[in-house]
Amino acid sequence: MTNMTNGLVEKEITSTVKTIEEFSKEWADFQEFVRSQLQEGVDYGRIPGVKKPFLMLPGAEKICSRYMVRPEYSIIGKVEDWDKGLFNFEVKCVLRRISTGQIVGEGIGSCNSYEEKYRYVWVRQSEVGNRKVLGQRKSGKYTEYKVEREDLATLHNTILKMAKKRALVDASLTLGNASGMFTQDVEDLPKEVIQAEVEEENTIEEVPPLSKEKSHPQDSSLQEQVLNLWKQLSLTRWHGEPIEDVVKKANEKKLKAMIDWAKKKLAERELREHKEAQTEKLRKDILELVLSATPTNEELERIGIEDTGISLDDELKRYDYPKLKEIHEKLKKIVAKE
d(CA 107, CA 168): 6
d(CA 177, CA 11): 24
Q: Which among 183, 168, 180 is positioned nearest to 27, based on CA atoms? A: 180
- The one-character DSSP state at 208 is P
| Sheet architecture: strand order including 120-124 | 120-124, 142-148, 135-139
Tell me the C-alpha to C-alpha distance, in Å, between residue 321 and each of 18, 281, 297, 316, 324.
40, 10, 22, 10, 5
The CA dihedral of 18, 61, 109, 195, to the nearest 10 degrees, is: 100
Q: What is the residue extent of each domain of the chain?
A: 38-180, 189-204+216-338
Per-residue pLDDT 10s for the chain (338 aa) are 334 334 433 444 344 555 777 767 777 788 888 888 888 888 888 776 667 788 888 888 999 998 899 999 999 999 998 888 899 999 999 999 998 889 988 999 999 998 888 888 888 888 888 888 888 888 777 888 899 988 888 888 889 999 999 999 989 988 877 766 776 555 555 555 455 444 443 433 333 333 333 434 445 588 888 888 888 877 777 666 788 888 888 888 888 888 888 888 888 888 888 888 888 888 888 888 887 777 777 777 777 777 666 777 777 887 888 888 888 888 888 777 76
| Cβ atoms within 10 Å, residue 150 | 13
* Helical (H) or strand (E) element with 185: none
